[in-house]
């Protein structure tokens, strides 16, 4: 077999093992590449959006209106010295950002970007997503612990308790969706939503959506739940000792996490790549718009929400955060499950 034959082999024989693996690898490369680009420009987007909300310009110097700023930042961070504190646990210290990024990125595997495009079409997709978001907490705890610094230790402690508390609420908030769609497969959930004229679980599951979004802010450590990094209290919290590329990995993980959380919200509550059937009935040409466009648009609406909240709200205090999670969100989520189940049972 010559080289050309090797290259086109998977295309010729897509059903063989090599063919399947090759197709998956191409999909992974595509998803990671596109997501990383979006992550880079999500930072730019954030700085511009918050900048304009705060009566300033945001990045303006690198490129036209600062368009090359993310690339300049990336290059700068890449060439910065990688410092590891003398007292740190080297292995864990080095592993922590990788764990975080791994957890965030592998969540992308089960997200249906548009009809028929999903890397791993598994029937416990939602469970997998929750598992991966929990795994991310390990990265935070490891970073906070291994740095051997009091500030990062406090940040690590805060984040572990915060993420553990809120992922219960997040998990429970999705149960309503699971009951309504009778599935854990993200693709099936999207298809189930299209069965209704409103096409989005946002409306019947408004309570679940609200709880999920609050939990998503907490899971991604964004304002008003940015206590683990709380720059005015713990300076930077768990990643205070990191520098250079490792430092930026935490940021990449945060932004990927933000996109993943938005993607879950879009998939479970906003009808994924589809738009409500009633829209298509009213304006038929909308049916011709590719699903990926709706999907990306919906994701960016959510990402914008993350930025908007950051520019608006102050930070919670640790005990208030816990009280909100355990005393408000979890009971509400349970109520939502019960009500959803009763309605489902009645029908």
Partner 1 sequence: MATAQKKLKKELTINLGPQHPSTHGVLRLVLDLDGETVVKCTPHVGYLHRGTEKLGENSTYLSAMPLMDRLDYVSSMTNDVAYCLAVERLFGIMAPERAQYIRTIVSEMTRISSHILWLGTHALDIGAMTVFLYSFREREWILDLFEMLCGARLTVSYPRIGGVRNDVSQEFIDSLYKFTAEFPARILEYETLIDQNRIWLQRTKGIGVISAEEAINWGLSGPTLRGSGVTYDIRKHFPYDAYDKVDFDVPVGQHGDVYDRYRCRMEEMRQSIRIIRQCLEKLPRGPVMAPDAPKLTLPAKEKVLADMESMIHHFVLITKGPMTGQSGEVYSAIEAPKGELGIYFVSDGTGKPYRMRLRSPSFVHVSALPRLSEGALVADVIANIGSVDVVLGECDR
Residues in touch with partner 1 (CB under 8 A): 50, 53-56, 150-151, 153-154, 158, 223-224, 226-227, 230-235, 310-320
Compute the least distance from the CB of residue 220 to partner 1, in Å. Answer: 16
The C-alpha atoms of residue 341 and residue 332 are separated, in whole angstroms, by 14
Q: Rounded distance, CA 172 to CA 345, Å?
A: 19
Shortest Å distance, C-beta 227 to partner 1: 8
Select 111 or 234, whichever has its Cβ closest to partner 1.
Answer: 234
Residue position matching structure tokens 């699903």 = 291
Identity of the residue, 153 or 294, whose beta carbon is nearer to partner 1 in the bound complex: 153
Smallest gap from Cβ 141 to partner 1, in A, equals 16
Which residue, 57 or 283, is less far from partner 1 as judged by CB? 57
Q: How far is the CB of 233 from partner 1 (least distance, A)?
A: 5
Q: Minimal distance in Å, beta carbon 55 to partner 1? A: 6
- Closest distance between partner 1 and the C-beta of residue 147, in Å? 14
Measured from the CB atom, the residue of 239 and 269 that comes closer to partner 1 is 239
To partner 1, the closest distance from the beta carbon of 345 in angstroms equals: 36
Closer of 126 and 218 to partner 1 (Cβ): 218
Residue nearer to partner 1 on the CB measure, 153 or 273: 153
Minimal distance, residue 303 CB to partner 1, in Å: 18
How far is it, in rounded angstroms, from Cα 335 to Cα 7?
Answer: 55
Nearer Cβ to partner 1 (224/271): 224
Which helix (DSSP H) or strand (DSSP E) does residue 64 occupy?
A: none
Residue 228, strand partner residues: none
Nearer to partner 1, 273 or 316 (CB): 316
Q: Which is nearer to partner 1, 158 or 298 (CB)?
A: 158
Short-list 216, 226, 282, 260, CA closest to 38: 260
Q: What is the 3-state secondary structure (H, E, C) of the chain?
A: CCHHHHHHHHHHCCCCHHHHHHHHHHHHHHHHHHHHHHHHHHHHHHHHHHHHHCCCCCCCCCCHHHCCHHHHHHHHHHCCCCCCCCCCCHHHHHHHHHHHHHHHHHHHHHCCCECCECCCCCCCHHHHHHHHHHHHHHHHHHHHHHCCCHHHHHHHHHHHHHHHHHHHHHHHHHHHHHHHHCCCCHHHHHHHHCCCCCCCCCCCCHHHHHHHHHHHHHHCCCCCCCCCCCCCCCCCHHHCCCCHHHHHHHHHHHHHHHHHHHHHHHHHHCCCCCCCHHHHHHCHHHHHCCHHHHHHHHHHHHHHHHHHHHHHCCCCCHHHHHHHHHHHHHHHHHHHHHHHHHHHHHC
CB of 168 to partner 1, least distance (A): 21
């Amino acid at each position: 077999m010559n080289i050309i034959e090797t290259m086109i082999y998977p295309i010729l024989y897509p059903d063989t093992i090599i063919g399947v693996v090759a197709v998956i690898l191409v999909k992974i490369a595509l998803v990671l590449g596109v997501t990383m680009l979006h992550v880079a420009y999500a930072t730019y987007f954030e700085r511009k959006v918050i900048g304009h909300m705060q009566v300033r310009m945001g990045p303006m110097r690198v490129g036209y209106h600062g368009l090359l700023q993310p690339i300049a930042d990336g290059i700068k961070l890449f060439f910065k010295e990688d410092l590891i504190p003398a007292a740190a646990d080297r292995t864990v210290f080095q592993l922590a950002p990788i764990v975080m990024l791994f957890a965030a990125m592998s969540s992308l595997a089960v997200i249906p970007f548009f009809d028929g495009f999903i890397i791993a079409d598994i029937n416990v997709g939602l469970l997998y997503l929750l598992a991966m978001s929990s795994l991310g907490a390990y990265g935070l705890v490891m970073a906070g612990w291994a740095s051997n610094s009091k500030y990062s230790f406090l940040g690590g402690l805060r984040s572990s308790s915060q993420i553990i508390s809120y992922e219960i609420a997040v998990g429970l908030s999705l149960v309503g969706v699971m009951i309504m769609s009778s599935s854990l497969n993200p693709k099936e959930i999207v298809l189930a939503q299209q069965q209704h004229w409103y096409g989005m679980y946002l409306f019947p599951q408004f309570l679940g959506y609200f709880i999920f979004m609050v939990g998503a802010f907490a899971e991604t450590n964004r304002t008003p739940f940015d206590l683990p990094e709380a720059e005015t209290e713990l300076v930077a919290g768990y990643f205070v000792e990191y520098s250079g590329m490792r430092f930026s990995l935490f940021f990449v993980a945060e932004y990927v996490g933000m996109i993943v959380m938005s993607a879950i919200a879009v998939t479970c509550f906003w009808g994924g790549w589809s738009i409500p059937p009633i829209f298509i009935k009213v304006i038929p040409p909308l049916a011709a718009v590719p699903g990926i466009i709706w999907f990306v648009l919906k994701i960016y609406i959510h990402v914008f929400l993350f930025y908007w909240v950051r520019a608006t709200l102050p930070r919670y205090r640790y005990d208030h955060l816990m009280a909100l999670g355990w005393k408000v969100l979890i009971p509400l989520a349970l109520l939502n499950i019960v009500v959803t189940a009763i309605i489902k049972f009645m029908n």
